[in-house]
């Protein structure tokens, strides 16, 4: 494919930053050193990531050139090309939240999904009381109804917010119901069948990365 997983992740974030910039009224050309400022990544990495957008998909090479001008990148065109290449432009990816404790329930009225390709369609918790008490902008179900609800809403992605000791069992259940991608908020290391993917979101990894970066700054 010519685009690595880290590059795909950087490009997905870059598209979002460019769109935020345009929304803020800054729609002028943007140089790779400005992109470095915005993202914190070295400008040569960004240029390389962008140059790979055209690779591998017929017709993209021309499109990839169209937003690259001598005065910099045209932000709207670049963001659109990233979304197209990464399949982030399609209608909606239907998502669910699994585990409605404090973290999971923080997604019940989560406004940041508006205007993104991701829509929350359902929430699940094994505690029926919790489901009756909580109110969200999407329906909540007991876990045993996954098998019926997930295919009905064509849900492909899950935000996994259950306790660590239940994480693999929940993931197995989700995959067996047709979910193909899990954002894993637990500290468990999940195994996933072929054709599926897990993305870990970990505050401890983020803190570890911060500590490592600050240690490097001191050593430099």
Expressed in angstroms, the distance from the first to the final Cα of the chain is 36
Touching its own copies, residues 96-115 (CB under 8 A): 101-103, 105-108, 112-113
Q: Does 166 bind its own copies (CB under 8 A)?
A: no
Angle between helix axes 5-23 and 43-51 (nearest 10 degrees) is 100
Using CB under 8 A, count the residues that bind its own copies. 68
Residue choice 25, 70, 129, 204 for contact with its own copies (CB under 8 A): 204
- State which of residues 8, 22, 166, 177 lies at the interface with its own copies (CB under 8 A): 8
Shortest gap between Cβ of 158 and its own copies (angstroms)?
A: 10
Nearer to its own copies, 146 or 160 (CB): 160
Largest Cα separation within the chain, whole Å, is: 60
Q: Are residues 89 and 117 in contact, defined by beta-carbon separation less than 8 angstroms?
A: yes
Which among 90, 61, 68 has a CA at the least distance from the CA of 2?
61
Pick from 126, 127, 168, 180: which binds its own copies (CB under 8 A)? 180
Does residue 9 touch its own copies according to CB under 8 A? yes
Determine the Cα angle at 51 with ends 49 and 55, to 5°. Answer: 100
Contact with its own copies (CB under 8 A): which of 22, 72, 86, 136? 86
Of 72, 63, 80, 77, the C-alpha closest to 29 is 72
Q: Judged by CB, which is closer to its own copies: 62, or 165?
A: 165
Cβ atoms of residues 151 and 159 within 8 Å: no
Q: How far apart are CA 11 and CA 128, in angstroms?
A: 40
Please tell me whether residue 118 binds its own copies under the rule CB under 8 A. Answer: yes
Alpha helix (H) residue ranges in 134-202: 146-152, 167-176
Note the Cα 2 to chain centre separation in Å.
20
51 binds its own copies (CB under 8 A): no
- Is position 128 an interface residue for its own copies (rule: CB under 8 A)? no
Q: Given the rule CB under 8 A, which residues bind its own copies?
A: 1, 3, 5-6, 8-9, 11-13, 15-17, 20, 38, 40, 56-57, 86-88, 93, 95, 101-103, 105-108, 112-113, 116-118, 157, 159, 164, 180-183, 187, 189, 195-217, 219-220
């Amino acid at each position: 494919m010519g685009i690595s997983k880290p590059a795909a992740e950087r490009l997905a974030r870059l598209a979002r930053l460019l769109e935020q910039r345009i929304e803020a009224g800054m729609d002028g050309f943007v140089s790779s050193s400005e992109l470095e400022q915005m993202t914190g990544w070295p400008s040569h990495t960004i240029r390389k990531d962008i140059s790979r957008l055209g690779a591998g998909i017929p017709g993209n090479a021309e499109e990839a050139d169209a937003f690259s001008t001598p005065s910099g990148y045209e932000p709207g065109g670049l963001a659109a090309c990233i979304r197209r290449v990464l399949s982030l432009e399609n209608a909606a990816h239907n998502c669910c939240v699994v585990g409605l404790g404090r973290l999971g329930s923080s997604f019940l009225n989560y406004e940041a999904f508006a205007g993104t390709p991701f829509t929350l369609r359902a929430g699940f918790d094994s505690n029926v009381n919790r489901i009756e008490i909580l109110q969200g902008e999407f329906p909540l179900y007991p876990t045993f109804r996954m098998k019926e609800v997930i295919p009905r809403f064509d849900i492909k992605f899950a935000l996994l917010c259950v306790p660590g000791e239940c994480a693999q069992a929940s993931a197995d259940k989700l995959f067996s119901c047709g979910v193909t991608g899990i954002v894993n908020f637990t500290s468990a290391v999940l195994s996933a069948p072929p054709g599926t993917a897990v993305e870990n979101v970990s505050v401890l990894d983020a803190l570890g990365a911060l500590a490592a970066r600050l240690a490097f700054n001191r050593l430099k």
